[in-house]
Amino acid sequence: MAKASRTQDEFTRPTGTVLGRGFTIQAATVMGAEAESMRLDGVVQGNIEMDGVLNLGESGRVEGDILAESARIAGTVQGSIQCRFALHLTATAEVTGDIMTETLIIDKGAVLHGRCQTSSAPGGVSTLTYATA
């Protein structure tokens, strides 16, 4: 139970930074502040590195790699995703690239073109969930 609560807590942090629909950032790396949550509905052409939670909306697109504490993906990613705690691919997500995380949640309808690796913290347990409803 404690693990499920921690995963839910990862996705319910207050949003600190919002990049709205219609905005495009072209950068080698976009870095988020420590313990910050970022909502992305626009386009990032470059890598994202952050210590917080990335929420990629349905209209959001990342053309680069993502390194975050946790992420909820509803848009498109063309690059690898590495999350320290949890990754949630919603029904509208489309990922072309490899993913690595401790806990992976894949909703029915999500598309993944790549390899998947779940890895646990020392002494922990990896979790893979495929939601069918």
Q: Residues 37-79: pLDDT tens digits?
A: 888 898 999 999 888 899 999 999 999 999 999 999 999 999 9
State yes or no: pLDDT of 89 exceeds 50: yes
Q: Which residues, other chains included, contact 1 with Cβ-Cβ below 8 Å and sequence gap of 6+? A: none
Separation of alpha carbons 125 and 27, rounded Å: 36
Q: Which domain holds residue 9?
A: 2-131
Counting the structural domains of the chain, the total is 1
Which residue type is seen at 3?
K
State yes or no: pLDDT of 33 exceeds 70: no
In the prediction, which pLDDT does 2 show?
A: 46
pLDDT bucket at 36, cuts 50 / 70 / 90: confident
Number of H helices, E strands in the chain: 1, 14
pLDDT bucket at 122, cuts 50 / 70 / 90: low
State pTM to two decimals.
Answer: 0.76
